[in-house]
Amino acid sequence: MARKSVEIDGATLAEAARYLETATDSDTVEAALREVIDRGRRIEAIARMRALIVEGEINSTEADDLEAFEDAAAQSKTSEAEIIREAIRLAEMRLRRRSEPMRLRRFASEDPNLAARSAENTPVSRSHPAAGRPEPR
């Protein structure tokens, strides 16, 4: 990491540390720089998105989503990129749950008749093949 010597107003640094919730001067300066970089990236991304809206590449619903990302990032004090990554991760999890078979936890039982008793006590749907009717085609 590069070491720099700069003069910074103490009151300004203290106020920034309070808002950024940082403990040291170095952490405050780094956090402030990250905030400025994130803000610049957001401004550039918004400009690109607005250009795509004007060109008809994005509809207004997608633009509303972008505004929602901005709001969520501001409220959670994280970057929009992090909010979008989390949304993608949640969508992947939802899709994975639908496409993969349900996995049940296995457990050990000392009861050799547990499966038979469970089958006796588990209701079976009338349309289920085990109910004596042929499976629908």
The model's confidence at residue 133, banded by pLDDT at 50, 70 and 90, is: very low
Sign of CA dihedral 108, 111, 113, 117: negative
Query: Average pLDDT, whole number, for the chain?
Result: 77
Enter the tokens of residue 115: 């499966």
The amino acid at 79: S
What digits encode the pLDDT tens for the residues 104-116? Answer: 566 667 777 777 7
pLDDT (average), residues 29-37: 93
Q: What is the pLDDT of residues 52-91, one digit of tens each?
A: 777 777 666 666 777 787 888 888 888 888 877 887 777 7
Residue pair 124/130 in contact by the 8 Å Cβ criterion: yes
Structure-token pair, residue 90: 């949640």
Sign of the dihedral defined by the CA atoms of residues 103, 106, 112, 114, in that order: negative
